[in-house]
Structure 1
Amino acid sequence: MHSLEEKIFELKNVLMKVWSIESSSKWTPQNPAKGQCGVTALVVNDIFGGEIMKTPTPEGWHFYNKINGQRYDLTESQFSEAIEYMDIPSNREEAFADTNERQYNYLKTNVYKNFFKN
């Protein structure tokens, strides 16, 4: 049985491979996590449950997850400076406002295909 940390690490590796212009219009090869926070928080929530959190950044709201009381921000690499997390409770509706149905379906389908292949 893998620990939650191991599963999150595994998921992060999958995300690095499947993030693309299809999952965020802000994506670039140099910064694959750019603009992926809302859509990624939704897919992480689909897989692990927990809560969706947000914190303000100079570019607007940044979404991430809290699972079993622990913060997991799988898109923090998009920022060049450290994030000052405020852990403000959010929800799927707010995170979805940061993405769209096509991007969400693309990311979820490709993550599931690669994460649940065993």
Structure 2
Amino acid sequence: MSFADPIALYHVVKRSWSAQTIPDAFDPANPCRNQCAVTALAVQRHFGGDIVKTATKGGTHFYNLIDGRYWDLAADQFDEPIPYDNVLTDAAEAHQHASEDHLATLLHNIQNHQNSGDDRGL
């Protein structure tokens, strides 16, 4: 399973978030909410690079740095601008907010949506 760039992955990942990818914190009205750690881990699996973080009023927010460019595939959860600090972190810290099971579920959902052709960004 491969994607041309993080934008292509974004169109699939936004359909792949579920209550199983972030148990006890899933918000059906805002499926992106609380999905940043598991999403950053999935992005790193697909593209390598680093995981970075920033402080928000809701807590720590995780996203990615790939080939010198920042990618935040879970930014849609916020209703105001994010004060990006771009602090390097690692998968171990992101895993404090998303288990390996959560990541496996998200990666499985991504694969299912990609295989179904549901990656058109509609």
TM-score by length of 1: 0.87
Pairing partner for 2:6 from 8, 32, 37 = 8
More helix by share: 1
Distance in 2 of aligned mates of 1:12 and 1:38: 14
Q: Which residue is equivalent to 1:74? A: 73
Q: Structure 2 regions of 5+ residues with no counterpart?
A: 118-122
- Which consecutive aligned stretches of 4+ in structure 1 deviate over 6 angstroms post-superposition? none
Q: Which residue is equivalent to 2:82? A: 83
Give the aligned CA root-mean-square deviation in angstroms. Answer: 1.8
TM-score by length of 2: 0.85
Percent of aligned pairs sharing the same letter: 35
Q: Which residue is equivalent to 2:16? A: 18
1:4-59 deviation digits (Å, cap 9, x = unpaired):
8x622221111111101111132223211111000000010000001100001111
Q: Which residue is equivalent to 1:101? A: 100
What is the CA-CA distance between 1:84 and the residue it aligns to? 0.6
Kindly indicate whether residue 26 of structure 2 is the aligned counterpart of residue 31 of structure 1: no
Alignment length, in residue pairs? 114
User: Residues 51 and 89 of structure 1 are in contact (CA less than 8 Å); yes or no, is this contact kept in structure 2?
Assistant: yes
- Larger displacement relative to structure 2 (75-84 or 28-37): 28-37
User: Residues 10 and 115 of structure 1 are in contact (CA less than 8 Å); yes or no, is this contact kept in structure 2?
Assistant: no
User: Residues 44 and 50 of structure 2 are in contact (CA less than 8 Å); yes or no, is this contact kept in structure 1?
Assistant: yes
Distance in 1 of aligned mates of 2:19 and 2:89: 25
Distance in 1 of aligned mates of 2:45 and 2:100: 14
What is the CA-CA distance between 1:93 and the residue it aligns to? 0.2
